[in-house]
């Protein structure tokens, strides 16, 4: 029970990587607030996980939503030990065709949401004597990819914010790290492609492990970072991409 007694808030937890993390956290002994804007699947997941989980509607780009969510969590569970800033959206668009509104929509969720999450966790984690903040970035926070101008900008920002927060909050016992998944088999890339059927196996063949990742594999990493096993890790980048960032563009699979 690697997270026994810990209280965690996981954003974007109604499905995909967030839901996988919520399941693993409960399995490892944590109490979890599942936060999302997808109310129906979020409530279903909380019901599935039982008394150790509770669903809360949370628009991560809203200051008031964050204040209300953290207040409810503290009233219900008394403390906050782990925050997983997982909520995010993906949108493909060529630079010249990307409107300011489209760009801002991605940045507000991915970047603003992470900032508000970090800020909201400082006081309760300080009062608890420390904690762990896990910011989910991407391999697009390490290297660029065409048609992802807003997404890459937001994920690079998360990488930078992680390091600043780690420096500021370390003396309070609060660790802050970023996770950088590669292509993971979830609904997000298909939705970003307009619901088109994507051949993820083709993408998987381009990386060293010759496959795409699973949400459960990212959840395992998020468990490690939320647990005391990572007690000397802060301000760091944890990549889980099957080897996508191990090479450069001249490599042909």
Catalytic center residues: 151
- DSSP 8-state symbol, 5: T
Give CA–CA dist 106/92, Å, rounded.
11
Residue of 79, 119, 83 whose CA lies nearest to 10: 83
Give CA–CA dist 37/57, Å, rounded.
5
Q: Which long-range contacts (CB under 8 A, 24 or more apart) does 98-105 make?
A: 98/149, 98/150, 102/150, 103/149, 103/150, 103/153, 105/150
Backbone angles phi, psi at 232, to 5 degrees: -110, 20
Give CA–CA dist 33/23, Å, rounded.
11
3 state SS of 18: helix
**Cα dihedral 43, 221, 85, 8 sign:** positive
Token digits for 238? 């944890």
């Amino acid at each position: 029970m690697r997270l026994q007694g810990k209280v965690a808030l996981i954003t974007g937890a109604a499905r995909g990587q967030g839901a996988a993390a919520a399941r693993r956290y409960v399995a490892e002994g944590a109490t979890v607030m599942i936060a999302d804007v997808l109310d129906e699947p979020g409530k279903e997941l909380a019901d599935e996980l039982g008394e150790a989980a509770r669903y809360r509607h949370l628009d991560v780009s809203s200051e008031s939503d964050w204040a209300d969510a953290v207040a409810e969590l503290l009233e219900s569970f008394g403390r906050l030990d782990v925050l997983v800033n997982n909520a995010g959206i993906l949108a493909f668009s060529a630079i010249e065709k990307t409107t300011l509104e489209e760009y801002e929509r991605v940045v507000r969720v991915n970047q603003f949401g992470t900032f508000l999450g970090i800020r909201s966790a400082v006081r309760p984690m300080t009062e608890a004597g420390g904690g762990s903040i896990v910011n989910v970035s991407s391999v697009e926070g390490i290297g660029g990819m065409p048609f992802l101008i807003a997404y890459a900008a937001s994920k690079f920002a998360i990488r930078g914010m992680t390091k600043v927060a780690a420096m500021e909050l370390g003396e309070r016992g609060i660790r802050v790290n970023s996770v950088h998944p590669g292509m993971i088999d979830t609904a997000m890339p298909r939705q970003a492609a307009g619901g088109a059927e994507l051949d993820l196996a083709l993408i998987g063949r381009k990386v060293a492990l010759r496959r795409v990742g699973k949400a459960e594999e990212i959840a395992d990493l998020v468990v490690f970072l939320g647990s005391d096993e990572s007690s000397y890790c802060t301000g760091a980048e944890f990549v889980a991409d099957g080897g996508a960032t191990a090479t450069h563009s001249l490599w042909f699979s």
